[in-house]
């Protein structure tokens, strides 16, 4: 029989992540694609600078790439914020407002994430892939739970524990889906880009539910005392019974 953890791990579904990602996007497509287009316009000059100076002046190209990365992290945080608001509204709940400090934390954390993954890739690539998967949900923790960078990395590490192979497959599929947007002269990315982030957001929410179920399974609820078996009544043996047993 499968353990409780094995049964709960089966509830993390890649197909469900894509289904929910599409559903969230099409509930508010103009907002998602509109903001994505705004960031694309802001990032386009930096991308041009990055490509133009790639061979001639590498430091300039690298600086443009870093700034582009900051905008990319803020863009992902924006997609996640809208996605969480849509989900909260569907559940009849009120979503938390995201302030400027949250976006700045996402930008800083993204910079640290890039350095960590970059160092890992220099160490024979495998550590980079491992750390990329382990800490892939840091933005969602910052947006959803107001975590700081270190706490967000720590929480992401705990959340992805035991699911890394499946998350690696999900990341590959999401990357291929995102790249498919370039087949329509790049215009398709206004759709595939937001959906890619929302698919990862769905995976994050699924894993959060699994984690919560595990905590409820192994940690007793407040106010409940552990069940103690009632002591059985002592067996009374008379002296006569002992004498009869000794004779035999």
Please, which pLDDT band fits residue 246 given cuts at 50, 70 and 90?
A: very low
| pLDDT reported for residue 163 | 92
Tell me what the mean pLDDT of segment 102-130 comes to.
Answer: 85
Tell me what the mean pLDDT of segment 19-39 comes to.
Answer: 94
Higher pLDDT, 187 or 154: 154
Average pLDDT in the chain: 82
Tell me what the mean pLDDT of segment 210-235 comes to.
Answer: 63
Tell me what the mean pLDDT of segment 196-223 comes to.
Answer: 84
Beta carbons within 10 angstroms of residue 73's beta carbon: 23
| pLDDT reported for residue 18 | 96
The first and second tokens of residue 184, run together, are 């329509």
Please, which pLDDT band fits residue 220 given cuts at 50, 70 and 90?
A: low
Task: State the sign of the Cα–Cα–Cα–Cα dihedral 30, 35, 39, 41.
Answer: positive
Tell me what the mean pLDDT of segment 135-150 comes to.
Answer: 92
| pLDDT reported for residue 30 | 94
C-alpha 213: how far from chain center: 17
Beta carbons within 10 angstroms of residue 104's beta carbon: 14
SS3 at position 161: coil
Q: What is the pTM assigned to this prediction?
A: 0.80
Tens of pLDDT along 39-85? Answer: 999 988 888 887 887 776 777 877 888 788 888 899 999 999 999 99
| pLDDT reported for residue 199 | 96
| pLDDT reported for residue 234 | 54
SS3 at position 187: coil
| pLDDT reported for residue 232 | 53
244 with 31: CB under 8 angstroms?
Answer: no
SS3 at position 96: coil
136 with 171: CB under 8 angstroms?
Answer: yes
The first and second tokens of residue 68, run together, are 């582009």
pLDDT exceeds 50 at position 9: no
Q: Give burial (CB, 10 Å; 0-12/13-18/19+) of 169.
A: exposed
C-alpha radius of gyration, the chain, whole number: 26
Residue 106 CB-half CA count within 13 A: 29
Tell me what the mean pLDDT of segment 91-96 comes to.
Answer: 76
| pLDDT reported for residue 35 | 94
| pLDDT reported for residue 248 | 42
82 with 93: CB under 8 angstroms?
Answer: no
Task: State the sign of the Cα–Cα–Cα–Cα dihedral 116, 32, 185, 66.
Answer: negative
The first and second tokens of residue 200, run together, are 């990862």
72 with 132: CB under 8 angstroms?
Answer: no
Please, which pLDDT band fits residue 231 given cuts at 50, 70 and 90?
A: low
- Domains of the chain, by residue range, sit at 11-222
Higher pLDDT, 178 or 222: 178
149 with 108: CB under 8 angstroms?
Answer: yes
Q: Greatest CA span in the chain, whole angstroms? A: 107
The first and second tokens of residue 155, run together, are 């929480």
Higher pLDDT, 168 or 214: 168
């Amino acid at each position: 029989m499968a353990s409780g953890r094995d049964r709960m791990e089966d509830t993390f579904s890649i197909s469900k992540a894509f289904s929910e990602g599409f559903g969230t996007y099409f509930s508010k497509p103009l907002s998602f694609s509109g903001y994505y287009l705004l960031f694309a316009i802001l990032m386009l000059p930096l991308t041009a600078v990055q490509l133009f100076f790639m061979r001639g002046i590498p430091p300039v190209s690298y600086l443009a790439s870093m700034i582009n990365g900051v905008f990319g992290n803020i863009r992902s945080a924006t997609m996640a914020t809208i996605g969480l608001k849509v989900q909260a509204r569907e559940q009849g709940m009120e979503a938390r407002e995201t302030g400027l400090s949250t976006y700045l934390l996402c930008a800083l954390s993204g910079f640290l994430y890039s350095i960590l993954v970059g160092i890992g890739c220099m160490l024979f690539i495998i550590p980079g892939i491992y750390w990329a998967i382990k800490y892939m949900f840091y933005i969602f923790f910052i947006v959803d739970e107001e975590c700081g960078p270190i706490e967000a990395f720590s929480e992401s590490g705990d959340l992805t524990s035991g699911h890394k192979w499946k998350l690696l497959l999900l990341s590959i599929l999401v990357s291929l889906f995102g790249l498919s947007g370039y087949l329509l002269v790049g215009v398709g990315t206004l759709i595939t880009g937001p959906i890619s982030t929302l698919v990862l957001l769905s995976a994050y929410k699924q894993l959060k539910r699994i984690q919560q179920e595990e905590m409820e399974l192994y940690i007793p609820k407040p106010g409940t005392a552990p069940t103690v078996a009632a002591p059985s009544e002592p067996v009374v043996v008379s002296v006569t019974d002992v004498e009869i047993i000794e004779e035999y």
